[in-house]
Amino acid sequence: MTKSRQPDSAVPHHVAIVMDGNGRWAHRRLLPRVAGHRQGVESLRRCIRACAERGVKVLTVFAFSSENWSRPVEEVSGLMDLLATALTREVPELKKAGIRLHFVGERGNLSERVRAGFVAAEAETAANERMVLNICFNYGGRWDIAQAAARVAAAGQAITEESLGRATALAHVPDPDLLIRTGGEQRISNFLLWQCAYSELFSAIACGPTLTTRHWTKR
């Protein structure tokens, strides 16, 4: 069965964020798009710290969509380099802060370097219990549902809401209570299609709507 959201609380148990607007932030400053993504890492660092301090138990962020491969080669290459650097620099700090990392998405077409980095980061933080940080990388909601259905079928089980829910890539955490998207776009963009069926798009823990026109880099 799809995992239910947590009871009403001043602080959501699970927050999901579409980190949008990095490229536009850089463009407005006449900078390469990768500069915006680099600044986005700084925004994510602040967000992780704020969520952990406020008692959020699960934070899920959309870092790289399965559709992002269609972006210019130099931007994709810059993102991969940025990811590798961030893994080296951030994982020790996340471990110290009690954050447990999960990388969610299709790993088959990622480089061996990236796949090894994911495995090492997850192993390094596996014992942490303060907050779960899901990084959705090379992820798409349709992919998630399709791979869940394939897993259920391969196991010879009936395809039901319960069996699909147990086979999704985020089966290890409850569904999001709150979905935030920065950058002004008001669409899900293939993010957590199964899990966000009942997620709120606005939150009382912030001053005004959290579905905001601000770019992610300005958080």
Provide the strand spans (E) within the chain.
14-18, 58-65, 99-104, 131-139, 178-181
Is residue 144 part of the annotated active site? The answer reads no
Helix (H) or strand (E) holding 219: none
**Which sign does the torsion angle of CA 31, 34, 38, 39 carry?**
positive
Catalytic one among 20, 144, 175, 177? 20
Separation of alpha carbons 146 and 91, rounded Å: 30
**20 is annotated as an active-site residue:** yes
Question: What count of Cα atoms within 13 Å lies in the side-chain half-sphere of residue 29?
Answer: 14
Q: Which of 8, 22, 68, 144 is catalytic?
A: 68
Q: Give yes or no for a contact between 18 and 191, defined as CB atoms under 8 angstroms apart.
A: yes
Task: Provide the annotated active-site residues.
Answer: 20, 68
